[in-house]
């Protein structure tokens, strides 16, 4: 098994600038940064760059009221999808790891099932639904800090290549892979998933877990997935989508969708119908499609955000739920505000926490309304030549 290599041999000026800015923001990524605590990471952020990154990110939403946005405003934000997502994860990664772990996604839960076990099972289910085998070369589209890539690599034995546009996350993913003994079975590559740096017909399978929502339009990233897959290759995904219950004329629905976008680095949320059209437009055959968030599970997928601590099963589950719940998120924001006030967190850190709190609140409200799912599962196949 020879894993595909990135075709880009010359580092673009833009990539060099991204790398420099990211190192300035995150403290140059020495060993102490990788191993430091959440509070230490906030302290080590670049004082000027953190504040400017937050302000630049929020400038993507010029109108506070979504009803006042023009099509030109939305089109401009969509065209800047890469910068929107990159800035968001520069700001959010440390908060996500602190509150949730290294797999940045939701999952279903079973009674008496520990949180991290449920997260892993969710990843296993995707790999099993796709039929990933040990001899496969697999692409993780939007790989974050590599949590799912490591778990799916352990579970299947496949070689997993992570594609990510965020330098800080790539550095952390590579460090984790080394620590867990998976550096010889994985790689993490910088690249835009709307213009993937791989040859045609390179991978046996590819997947995305709550990542391709950052693309605009979906045809762009789905088309690239189609291109880099071998004939007969499979694409599996948990997608963030608006359900059939979403009403674009309902002001409350618009408000929640705006919160989902601002609070999660999303240029534009789309519907299940639009997702299907995009897959079919680029040539995929859809083999499986199911809203995994619309179930009669005894424990709802969003229970950590609700804060029902009775459903937690281990000491670490309690900590996760306490941090994720509305009260816990507020406590984190107040803590960060206090740290920022005394100079122990870079300026702008509390704004980041407030943005993420908006994102989580909107996820919870959208889920209760039934207008949003973060886990629309599809498995699609590229036809054999």
> Has residue 33 got a pLDDT over 60?
no
For 29, phi and psi rounded to 5 degrees?
A: 60, 30
What is the reported pLDDT for 11?
52
Please state, in angstroms and rounded to a whole number, the distance separating the CA atoms of residues 131 and 175: 28
> Has residue 251 got a pLDDT over 90?
yes
What is the reported pLDDT for 8?
57
Task: Please check whether residue 352 is in contact with residue 260, taking contact to mean a CB–CB distance below 8 angstroms.
Answer: no
Bridge partners for 206 per DSSP: 139, 235
Question: What value does the mean pLDDT take over residues 210-238?
Answer: 97
Question: What value does the mean pLDDT take over residues 110-135?
Answer: 96
Question: Across all residues in the chain, what is the average pLDDT?
Answer: 90
Task: Please check whether residue 25 is in contact with residue 49, taking contact to mean a CB–CB distance below 8 angstroms.
Answer: yes
Instruction: Kindly report, residue by residue over 183-216, the tens digit of the pLDDT.
Output: 999 999 999 999 999 999 999 999 999 999 999 8
Instruction: List, edge to edge, every strand of the sheet that includes 229-242.
Output: 186-190, 159-164, 137-141, 203-209, 229-242, 372-381, 285-291
> Has residue 9 got a pLDDT over 80?
no
What is the reported pLDDT for 81?
85
For residue 246, name the pLDDT band (cuts at 50, 70, 90).
very high
For residue 137, name the pLDDT band (cuts at 50, 70, 90).
very high
Instruction: Kindly report, residue by residue over 313-369, the tens digit of the pLDDT.
Output: 888 888 888 788 777 888 888 899 998 999 888 888 999 999 999 999 999 999 999
Lowest model confidence (mean pLDDT) among 47-61, 115-129, 222-236: 47-61
Instruction: Kindly report, residue by residue over 74-122, the tens digit of the pLDDT.
Output: 888 888 888 889 899 999 999 999 889 999 999 999 998 999 999 999 9
Question: What value does the mean pLDDT take over residues 127-142?
Answer: 98
Residue 364's nearest CA partner among 256, 255, 252, 209 is 256
Just give the CATH number of 50-385: 3.40.50.150
What is the reported pLDDT for 10?
47
> Has residue 31 got a pLDDT over 70?
no
């Amino acid at each position: 098994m020879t894993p595909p290599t990135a075709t880009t041999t010359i580092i673009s000026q833009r990539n060099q600038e991204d790398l420099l800015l990211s190192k300035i923001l995150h403290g140059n990524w020495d060993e102490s940064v990788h191993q430091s605590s959440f509070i230490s990471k906030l302290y080590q952020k670049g004082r000027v760059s953190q504040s400017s990154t937050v302000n630049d990110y929020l400038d993507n939403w010029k109108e506070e009221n979504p009803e006042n946005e023009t099509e030109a405003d939305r089109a401009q934000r969509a065209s800047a999808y890469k910068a929107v997502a990159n800035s968001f994860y520069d700001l959010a990664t440390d908060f996500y790891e602190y509150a949730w772990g290294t797999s940045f996604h939701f999952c279903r839960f079973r009674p008496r099932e520990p949180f991290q076990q449920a997260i892993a099972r969710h990843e296993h289910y995707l790999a099993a639904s796709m039929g990933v085998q040990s001899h496969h070369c697999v692409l993780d589209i939007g790989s974050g800090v590599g949590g799912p890539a490591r778990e799916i690599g352990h579970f299947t034995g496949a070689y997993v290549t992570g594609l990510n546009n965020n330098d800080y996350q790539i550095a952390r993913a590579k460090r984790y892979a080394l620590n867990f003994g998976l550096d010889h079975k994985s790689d993490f590559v910088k690249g835009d998933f709307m213009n993937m740096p791989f040859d045609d017909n390179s991978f046996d399978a590819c997947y995305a877990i709550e990542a391709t929502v950052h693309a605009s339009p979906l045809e762009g990233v789905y088309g690239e997935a189609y291109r880099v897959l071998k004939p007969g290759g499979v694409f599996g995904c948990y997608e963030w989508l608006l359900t059939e219950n979403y009403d674009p004329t309902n002001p409350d629905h618009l408000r929640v969708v705006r919160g989902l976008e601002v609070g999660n680095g999303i240029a534009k949320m789309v519907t299940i119908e639009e997702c299907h059209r995009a897959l079919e437009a680029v040539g995929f055959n859809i083999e499986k499609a199911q809203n995994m968030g619309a179930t009669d599970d005894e424990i709802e997928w969003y229970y950590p955000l609700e804060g029902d601590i009775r459903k937690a099963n281990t000491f670490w589950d309690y900590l996760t739920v306490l941090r994720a719940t509305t009260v816990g998120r507020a406590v984190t924001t107040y803590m960060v505000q206090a740290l920022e006030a005394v100079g122990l967190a870079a300026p702008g850190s509390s704004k980041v926490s407030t943005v993420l709190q908006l994102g989580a609140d909107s996820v919870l409200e959208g889920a209760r309304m039934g207008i949003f799912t973060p886990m629309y599962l599809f498995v699609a196949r590229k036809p054999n030549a």
